Structure 1
């Protein structure tokens, strides 16, 4: 039985491994620096990673592991960019390497300001945005976006987030209200303009610098996450899930427009493996709602479990494509029109 190797990655990787095991088509190998991580507990075999390894030293360790364990497919998590730069060394060991894209493309997608600047809006529109790196450029950006034709006074809000980051780290919707009120209400992703100004002036006062930040119009419509699998720029499967209010179940939708966007993304960036993109709806003057592109993630999303419930075994599908066992056109299609929920379980550790 051929083996899929997963190195250290986010917690959703444990669910991917369990799905591969349940299908029974592949054996699984995992490595992580925490022996009790769900990845390690789920895999058929595991190897403990040394703590603190980064960059070239970590890639050297991965090469040694592949050389010893001989997996046929390696779905890369940690240090994907560094691994991609040394692709030839892994290929020479006979492993199919899935880093989603080459190193320059991964860097491009990771830097949201560069990505948005180069994005082709004929695929999907994007909200009005700019960047800032200190208080003065923040104030200039606020003025610019409030003067934008799409800005509706009293309706359109602004938001900020780092140009580089994962999940919702650093994301805040800017309000005119009091921070204490937001704090007491548990509004984790809101921040007043006053607090933003106090926060963004601190690095300059302390002799430091603020990382490149994005300032954008906040779209108030439905938010969607699209989980995809591709091989050599050809889309094999995509699951469109709409996030319902209050963080509850999600709805798996049939959205031909977003499937076409997924095909263009896979082709444009020559993607291979599991990737994700995020959209949010904007309301046009006539009342029509149109999905806007927010970002592309060159990795599996944190919510991949929801899309797996629609019948797509993402890791297994990616491995079969890489091994030439399946053509992208013959990949299974997800169920749509269903509501899915994540149910967490507990496990006794030996």
Structure 2
């Protein structure tokens, strides 16, 4: 049976996941569908069927997804956009015969999407004697006065601080508080920066009486790791691949027992199925949690070089098929280069 699989609005790196699914070891045939509001989306080149989707949200978007699945006879839906909301509507997709690669626990999805809620949950577990991972020192603020108070409390021991939205993806909204950012030498010597001075941050935050919840937390200055995890439908961990972010574009697939143990404990407590990602960063030799993503991470294709086809195996588990024992290959240092992709071309040629 040929399986129709749909990816809605995703990162450009989803093109790698499409190829990994297409060239799977079982030779299972897929027809890959992809949508995005931008007609020049690069991963359209890796789809069998592609097209634009409306730039809408909420319940209206859910209805679009249901209609798209029916119209295109989709068997498997791999959502990124609105994946939390979609997890609350799985019954509607089940009624039309569509399986969705998403954690079916909508409340758990919402908690993982909210960094503060996830931190509180982990702190509660630690208070009950179930330590999973160290949490950075932090405060939650939604007005300028609270920000000033949080900064004063956390920086009193000369702790370097940063800010980021409680709900958000990747580095969106992330800033390191550095008072050198307002100096002429900094402007002249820096091409682009995620740094902002305390005074500038206060000035910006004072422009609104209230703003969406913002985390003020200790800046972690050590190496950052993404731990890509594969689990069965019950959330039993099958493998975890720590991926170290080195200098520039260097990545290392590293056997790190400390980080794998974090994945084991996280899986045991929260039972996240199929595929998820844990991001940590070191400070003073201690790995501290950045966030948990209950989906395929943006750099998952790097971890797949460990001979683990995460996207296809996750689909296989979603369909209820067992996996043989997995033996990841560690000790890899990798990088990547830019590749030009022709999005369209005119047929005519000009002779010169």
Per the normalisation by structure 1, the TM-score is 0.87
Following superposition, the deviation at residue 183 of structure 1 comes to 3.3
The answer on whether the counterparts of 1:237 and 1:331 sit within 8 Å (CA) in structure 2 is: no
3-state SS of the aligned residue for 2:231? strand
Structure 2 equivalent of residue 126 of structure 1: 135
Following superposition, the deviation at residue 331 of structure 1 comes to 4.9
- Partner Cα separation in structure 2 for residue 92 and residue 170 of structure 1: 38
Structure 2 equivalent of residue 343 of structure 1: 337
The 1:36/1:192 distance shift into structure 2, 3 A limit, reads closer
State yes or no: 1:241 paired with 2:235: no
3-state SS of the aligned residue for 1:177? helix
Structure 2 equivalent of residue 286 of structure 1: none
Structure 1 equivalent of residue 102 of structure 2: 99
The answer on whether the counterparts of 1:108 and 1:115 sit within 8 Å (CA) in structure 2 is: yes
**Which runs of structure 2 are paired with 1:31-70 in the superposition (5 Å)?**
31-46=35-50, 48-70=51-73
Structure 1 residue corresponding to 2:203, chosen from 198, 201, 212: 198
Structure 2 residue corresponding to 1:115, chosen from 118, 134, 138: 118
1:17-51 deviations in whole A, cap 9, x for unaligned?
022122343412223333442332202233x2442
3-state SS of the aligned residue for 1:5? strand
**Which runs of structure 2 are paired with 1:55-94 in the superposition (5 Å)?**
55-94=58-97
The 1:251/1:175 distance shift into structure 2, 3 A limit, reads same
- Partner Cα separation in structure 2 for residue 7 and residue 267 of structure 1: 30
3-state SS of the aligned residue for 1:29? strand
- Partner Cα separation in structure 1 for residue 68 and residue 325 of structure 2: 30
Following superposition, the deviation at residue 141 of structure 1 comes to 0.9
Following superposition, the deviation at residue 187 of structure 1 comes to 5.0
Following superposition, the deviation at residue 345 of structure 1 comes to 1.3
- Partner Cα separation in structure 2 for residue 129 and residue 250 of structure 1: 28
- Partner Cα separation in structure 2 for residue 135 and residue 196 of structure 1: 9
The 1:45/1:157 distance shift into structure 2, 3 A limit, reads same
Structure 2 equivalent of residue 225 of structure 1: 226
Query: Which segment is superposed worse, 12-21 or 178-187?
Result: 178-187
**Which runs of structure 2 are paired with 1:128-143 in the superposition (5 Å)?**
128-143=137-152
Instruction: Return 5+ residue gaps in structure 1 as ranges.
Output: 284-288
- Partner Cα separation in structure 1 for residue 146 and residue 115 of structure 2: 18
Instruction: Return 5+ residue gaps in structure 2 as ranges.
Output: 345-352
The answer on whether the counterparts of 1:233 and 1:268 sit within 8 Å (CA) in structure 2 is: no
- Partner Cα separation in structure 2 for residue 275 and residue 250 of structure 1: 19
Structure 1 equivalent of residue 350 of structure 2: none
- Partner Cα separation in structure 2 for residue 202 and residue 306 of structure 1: 41
Following superposition, the deviation at residue 343 of structure 1 comes to 2.5
- Partner Cα separation in structure 2 for residue 130 and residue 20 of structure 1: 41
Structure 2 equivalent of residue 9 of structure 1: 10
The answer on whether the counterparts of 2:42 and 2:343 sit within 8 Å (CA) in structure 1 is: no
1:87-112 deviations in whole A, cap 9, x for unaligned?
11211222321123422222211111
Following superposition, the deviation at residue 306 of structure 1 comes to 1.8
Structure 1 equivalent of residue 348 of structure 2: none
State yes or no: 1:316 paired with 2:316: no
**Which runs of structure 2 are paired with 1:153-164 in the superposition (5 Å)?**
153=158, 156-164=159-167
The answer on whether the counterparts of 1:26 and 1:316 sit within 8 Å (CA) in structure 2 is: no
- Partner Cα separation in structure 2 for residue 2 and residue 61 of structure 1: 21
The 1:256/1:101 distance shift into structure 2, 3 A limit, reads farther
The 1:59/1:125 distance shift into structure 2, 3 A limit, reads same
- Partner Cα separation in structure 1 for residue 37 and residue 316 of structure 2: 28
3-state SS of the aligned residue for 2:327? coil
Following superposition, the deviation at residue 79 of structure 1 comes to 1.4
- Partner Cα separation in structure 1 for residue 58 and residue 297 of structure 2: 23
The answer on whether the counterparts of 2:276 and 2:293 sit within 8 Å (CA) in structure 1 is: yes
3-state SS of the aligned residue for 1:131? strand
The answer on whether the counterparts of 1:13 and 1:39 sit within 8 Å (CA) in structure 2 is: yes
- Partner Cα separation in structure 2 for residue 226 and residue 111 of structure 1: 19
3-state SS of the aligned residue for 1:309? helix
